[in-house]
């Protein structure tokens, strides 16, 4: 019973002092199990007629702490990234910033029935299509991967990369996908086993378009 209550709590976060809910992404694994000395930031889903709005509660964002981004999985990725970039800039430019502090996305591990975390401190987001000379995979909202004129299933991505010649590769994402789908991709990409020598995956820059 205790585990069931914990799972429900972690899947459905409530912002302190506010009667609002955040439906977290879910997965079946834990990347980071515990984060100490943290400040929670909430991204609420707010439907306004045909538009989806992002409402951010950043009141508790203390720059010297680790930040936990509790983001509703239904929100469109592009709107989420716009707000994330603002918060990244705020922390980077704060006089009280702790260089050792990290930023984490939160999600629910449905196997271990706990709240889990993915660090993304070093990622810098570009809300644009990469230049023509940047080799990148475009991941769409339907689990398809686009590379130049080729389109294939994400389950073929590992094999495809391991047959490539020497190159630096980036990942870009469909701006219209949900944040929940984005987290699903992030966890999927962490499990890729890249054995091809000379192939480098650049993880500190992502493109959203």
Give the 3-state DSSP-derived string for 104-119, with helices as H, strands as E and coil as C. EEEEEECCCCEEEEEE
Of residues 17 and 194, more confidence is placed in 194
Mean pLDDT of 154-170: 97
Task: Decide: 178 and 143 in contact? Cβ < 8 Å.
Answer: no
Distance CA 173, CA 209 (A): 6
pLDDT reported for residue 47? 87
3-state secondary structure at position 48: strand
pLDDT reported for residue 6? 43
> CB burial class (10 A; 0-12, 13-18, 19+) of residue 6?
middle
Tell me the pLDDT tens digit for each residue of 49-90.
788 999 999 877 899 999 999 999 999 999 999 999 999 999
Tokens 């709240």 belong to residue: 115
**Cα diameter, the chain:** 55
Residue of 144, 127, 148 lying closest to 136 (CA atoms): 148
Distance CA 48, CA 204 (A): 34
The two three-digit tokens of residue 176, written as one number: 């219209």
Tell me the pLDDT tens digit for each residue of 20-35.
899 999 999 999 999 9
Distance CA 61, CA 67 (A): 7
Distance CA 161, CA 165 (A): 9
The predicted model scores a pTM of 0.91
Mean pLDDT of 127-138: 97
- Return the number of other C-beta atoms located less than 10 Å from residue 190's C-beta: 11
pLDDT reported for residue 18? 56
Q: pLDDT class for 5, splitting at 50, 70, 90?
A: very low
Looking at the DSSP bridge assignments, the partners of residue 36 are none
């Amino acid at each position: 019973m205790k585990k069931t209550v914990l799972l429900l709590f972690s899947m459905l976060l409530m912002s302190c002092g506010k009667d609002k809910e955040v439906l977290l992404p879910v997965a079946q694994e834990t990347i980071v199990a515990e984060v100490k000395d943290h400040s929670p930031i909430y991204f609420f889903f707010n439907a306004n007629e045909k538009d989806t709005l992002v409402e951010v509660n950043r009141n508790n964002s203390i720059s010297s702490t680790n930040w936990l981004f509790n983001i509703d999985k239904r929100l469109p990725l592009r709107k989420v990234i716009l707000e994330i970039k603002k918060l990244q800039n705020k922390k980077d430019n704060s006089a009280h910033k702790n260089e050792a502090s990290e930023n984490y996305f939160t999600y629910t591990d449905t196997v271990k029935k706990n709240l889990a975390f993915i660090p993304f401190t070093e990622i810098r987001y570009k809300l644009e299509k990469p230049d023509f000379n940047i080799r990148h995979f475009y991941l769409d909202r339907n689990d398809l991967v686009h590379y130049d004129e080729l389109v294939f299933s994400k389950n073929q991505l590992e094999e495809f990369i391991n047959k490539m010649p020497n190159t630096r590769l980036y990942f870009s994402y469909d701006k219209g996908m949900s944040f929940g789908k984005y987290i699903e991709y992030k966890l999927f990409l962490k499990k890729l086993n890249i054995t091809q020598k000379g192939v480098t995956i650049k993880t500190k820059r992502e493109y959203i378009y």
